[in-house]
Structure 1
Amino acid sequence: MKDDHIALLRALHDGHAAALWRYALRLTGDQQLAEDIVQEALLRAWRHPEVLEQGSSASKAWLYAVARNYAIDERRSARARWEVDSESLPERSRADHTDSTLDAWLVADALSTLKPEHRLVIVRAYYRGESIAELADALEVPQGTVKSRLHYGLRALRLALQENGVTGRS
Structure 2
Amino acid sequence: MNVTVIGSAGAVSPEERALRDLYVEHGPALYSYVLRMLGGDTHRAEDVLQETLLRCWTKRNVADREGMAVRPWMFRVARNLVIDAHRTRKARPSEISGNSWLADMCAEADDMERMLSSIVVQEALRSLTPAHREALRATIFADRTTQQAADVLGVPQGTVKSRVYYALRSLKSTLAESGPR
Band of TM-score, shorter chain: 0.3 to 0.5
Name the TM-score, length of structure 2 as normaliser.
Answer: 0.43
Q: Please tell me whether Structure 1 or Structure 2 has the larger radius of gyration of its CA atoms.
A: 2
**TM-score, with length taken from structure 1:** 0.46
